[in-house]
């Protein structure tokens, strides 16, 4: 029977294992006796990152307060000055001054977004952005007592000196083919537009959606407008040849009266068109 292991080979293998064991023991002893601990010279001093961060909730110095510059509102209702009002069940027309410029507005028209909605005797109502604004009529400042210098001659007993407010205004003289109008009368009505609306009523006439003149709805008896020869039902068509086809044209004619020596008013009375001539002195 053949042996399973060769005795010689087994002895050699055992000898090699014993030799390796001796070498390992010698190396371990050398490490303990002569070499420092493993990794001491190469150890890195690393600190782990914290899982939280420090935050200052109250700074050392308070920040300077933010100063907001005042914002000026553009197109304030205060920029509108009401100069004159004409209000009737059929028509509302106002004269106003906006940033130094004079303008005439009809109901529904606007100036810088302020829409004219209505008016009374001494005020006008505007709307803008869903809000309602009331603008009162500007009144001329009355002269205070003592502002009128008394006459050098004393008034005799029983006689009074007429005040300036009762001073007679200019007259209108009919000379046949035309009428002569005193300029002081013109000056009064150009400065007191509200007096016009008290003595005469005017409303626009439209044709195909455009203004085609202004109809006189009433004339107060004894007033200068009655003396001018105007009647109820007359339609004002033109002034000095300029058609009255808009509120602006009517107001431009109104403003230019002070700068003219003569005035030609074209009117339509019934089915007849005629001209009224005036001389202004």
Residue 31 has pLDDT above 80, yes or no: no
Sign of CA dihedral 101, 104, 110, 115: positive
**Of the listed ranges 76-90, 158-172, 236-250, the one predicted with least confidence:** 158-172
Q: Are strands 114-119 and 123-128 parallel, antiparallel or unpaired?
A: antiparallel
Q: Could you give the residue ranges of the DSSP H alpha helices within 35-161?
A: none
Checking if the pLDDT of 71 tops 60, the result is no
- Dump pLDDT digits (tens) for 119-149: 887 899 999 999 999 999 876 444 433 333 4
Let me know: does 213 contact 199? Beta carbons within 8 Å.
no
Structural domains in the chain? 77-136 (2.30.30.830), 170-280 (2.30.42.10)
222-253 pLDDT, tens digit each = 999 999 999 999 999 999 999 999 888 888 88
The pLDDT assigned to 153 comes to: 42
Average pLDDT over residues 253-262: 81
Q: Within the chain, where are the H helices?
A: 7-34, 183-191, 193-199, 224-227, 247-256
Q: For the chain, what is the mean pLDDT? A: 76
Q: What is the mean pLDDT of residues 198-216?
A: 89
Residues 67, 90: Cα–Cα separation, whole Å: 52
Share of the chain above pLDDT 70, in %: 70
Asked if residue 10 has pLDDT above 70, the reply is yes
87: which residues sit within 8 A by CB, 6+ positions away?
118, 119, 120, 121, 197
Residue 123 · residue 74 · CB < 8 Å? no
In the predicted model, what is the mean pLDDT of residues 173-186?
89
């Amino acid at each position: 029977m053949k042996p399973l292991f060769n005795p010689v080979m087994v002895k050699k293998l055992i000898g090699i294992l014993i030799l390796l064991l001796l070498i390992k023991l010698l190396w371990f002893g050398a490490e303990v006796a002569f070499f420092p601990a493993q990794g001491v010279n190469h150890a890195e001093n690393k600190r782990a990152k914290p899982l939280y961060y420090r935050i200052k909730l109250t700074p050392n110095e308070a920040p300077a307060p933010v100063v907001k510059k005042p914002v000026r509102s553009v197109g304030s209702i205060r920029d509108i000055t009401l100069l004159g009002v004409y209000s009737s069940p059929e028509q509302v027309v106002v004269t106003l001054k906006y940033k130094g410029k004079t303008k005439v507005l009809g109901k529904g028209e606007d100036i810088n977004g302020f829409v004219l909605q209505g008016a009374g005797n001494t005020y006008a109502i505007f709307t803008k952005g869903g809000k309602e604004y009331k603008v009162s009529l500007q009144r001329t400042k009355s002269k205070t007592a003592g502002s009128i210098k008394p006459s050098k001659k004393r008034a005799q007993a029983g006689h009074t000196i007429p005040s300036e407010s009762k001073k007679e205004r200019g007259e209108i003289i009919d000379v046949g083919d035309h009428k002569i109008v005193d300029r002081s009368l013109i000056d009064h009505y150009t400065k007191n537009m509200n007096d016009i609306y008290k003595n005469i009523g005017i409303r626009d006439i439209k044709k195909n959606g455009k203004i085609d003149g202004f109809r006189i709805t009433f004339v107060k008896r004894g007033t200068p407008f009655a003396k001018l020869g105007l009647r109820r039902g007359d339609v004002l068509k033109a002034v000095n040849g300029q058609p009255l086809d808009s509120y602006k044209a009517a107001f431009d004619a109104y403003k230019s009266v002070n700068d003219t020596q003569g005035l030609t008013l074209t009117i339509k009375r019934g089915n007849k068109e005629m001209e009224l001539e005036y001389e202004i002195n």
